[in-house]
Structure 1
Amino acid sequence: MKQLALRITVALSLITTQPLWSQASEIPSAAPTQAAGQTPEQRGRHLLDEMLLALGGDEWLNRNNIQERGHAARFFRGAPTGIVIDFTSVRQFPTANRFDADRIGFITDKSIIFPGKKIDIVQIWTAGKGYEVTYKGKAELPKDQVDDFYRRRDHSIESIYRVWLKAPDVMVIAEGTGMVERRLSDKVTILSANNDAVTIDMDSTTHLPLRRTFEWRNETFKDHDEDAEEYADYHTIQGFPTALTITRYHNGDMASQTFLLKVEYNVDLSPDTFNPEVLLKKKQ
């Protein structure tokens, strides 16, 4: 009787598990797949073409400038510091007749007696340097701050199209799919000839960028640091999809979060906008 019961148990187990094996074999693999006939390089370049088209194509790539107003919250190891900075900024994009430059003005209260806001400190970034300008004069910003600013600019989405993809021996690799803040993304890595790399996660449906990531060698600690930016809350402004929330991470910890309140493209700028020799006017 015991042997009969054992045979029945084994038989039942084979009957119940066989359909499960069949069902499991029909589940699609989670491993990244390539479109028919496409190599990872071709797939990666195709995805970058789709992202550029989603951002606005050649019109987006040939913007003169972008002007923003918003506020930024600072974090330390992922925890809020309580510091919130109001700012206005202008970025000028480079062309054959126009240089790459940024101007950031920090907005503060005038005083208890005189209500309102004023900009009494400006940072100007041009020609590989950074300056702090007030009504008293200008001063060069610390080297580590300058290095960080230009490192992030060199790995920006604009830089991918303007510089990286035009460089010789650059590789573009489609790395399958991932998740960014519960959104399915297509992941593409661009690798330069000197082994520098930047990775983009783009929304699998809209093809808009969700996250930009790169690493660099920390000369002090002889290891690698990671810088990442996530883009959310897209609104179409002057025909261009624009992320109004930008969250920056350093080695996985939230470092800052920027909320844009107003964005304009292709504004008329004063010839002295990016001239660090022009001091601010003293405001009462």
Structure 2
Amino acid sequence: MLYIGCHLSSSKGFAAMGRQALELGANTFQFFTRNPRGSRAKDLDPADAAALRDLLARHGFGPIVAHAPYTLNLCGAEEKNRIFARETMADDLARLEHVPGQYYNFHPGSHVGQGSETGIALIADGLNAILRPDQATTVLLETMAGKGSEVGGRFEELRAILDRVELSGKVGVCLDTCHVSDGGYDIVHDLDGVLTEFDSIIGLWRLKAIHLNDSKNPPGSRKDRHACLGEGTIGLEALGRIVRHPALKDLPFCLETPNDLPGYAREIALMREMAEA
């Protein structure tokens, strides 16, 4: 079964997102835990979380993906920014325990001139400070495009973080198709080769989710600009191979394309059709 959905607004609550996903033909979805450019989060309603748990179970959803705000930076140069990121992420993880068994995705961070080795160490330190042995949520490091001082543009950097995390079983990876293409991995012509490299460096067992996006940029551009499916440099043929690939087909796929809800519904239906081709 193809688990596919899109990014939805959490403004109306958990259960409302689940109902909206069903209307779009989705059986997973992604949402921001709070304002993606800020720090405020709505009070959590336990009854609303319970309603979502029931909906997910009744309709056979795959895991859903909560996305941390873009502003968080576990490897920021200033300690106050690193503390803010840790506290926010810890609060998010506590909230997600009301909908256990899901994923929490975040951008590893930008080392802002400190160097990638320092950035890797700080990210791992941040995760070690917030992960708990009894948590039900798996935290996902997202593959990045490698722009500026981003950490995570290479598989080796993600592996270096994972090697430093004490509770590494609580951490996985989310592969973003736009990011890895922009980062120089040839998923169009050599998907098998990229996945073999991922497996040898990180381990495919750690790959838990896919952000399914086309790219407005040529491969290796390190720019990170998402395009609607089939309207970028990756293209529908390659995206179809991704959703059909034996190593990926059972993972949750989340669209982050520049779309409105009807556009997401079309892309979800299109990918379902291509998954069966």
Q: What is the TM-score normalised by the length of structure 2?
A: 0.28
Of Structure 1 and Structure 2, the greater helix share is in 2
Q: What is the TM-score normalised by the length of structure 1?
A: 0.28
Of Structure 1 and Structure 2, the greater strand share is in 1
